[in-house]
Amino acid sequence: MGISEGAVCSLCLADSFPFGRCGVREYVWLQCTETGLRNYRVIKETRGSERLELMKYCPKLRRHTLHKESRKK
């Protein structure tokens, strides 16, 4: 199975959303700023959102580092 550009969240599949989608979401990768490794994949709302920057655990360095959003090419 491949990664689709417009993934549907589980909340959108409920009967409360008549069109089946509450917004456009896609998978983005969180890349470590120190090693350059892409360690995490998250689903993100694409409309009106800024780029993610989170402190996450880097297994190579064995400590928490800043991870920034990158789209896998």
Comparison of pLDDT for 40 and 49, the residue scoring more: 40
Instruction: Say if residue 32 is exposed, middle or buried (CB neighbours under 10 Å; 0-12, 13-18, 19+).
Output: buried
pLDDT at position 52 is 92
Options 3.30.60.50, 3.40.190.10, 3.40.640.10, 2.20.28.120; CATH of 10-70: 2.20.28.120
Which tens digit of pLDDT belongs to each residue from 6-35?
Answer: 555 555 555 555 555 567 888 999 999 999
Write down the domain spans for the chain: 10-70
Residues with Cβ < 8 Å from 16, sequence gap 6 or more? none
Which tens digit of pLDDT belongs to each residue from 46-66?
Answer: 888 899 999 999 999 999 999
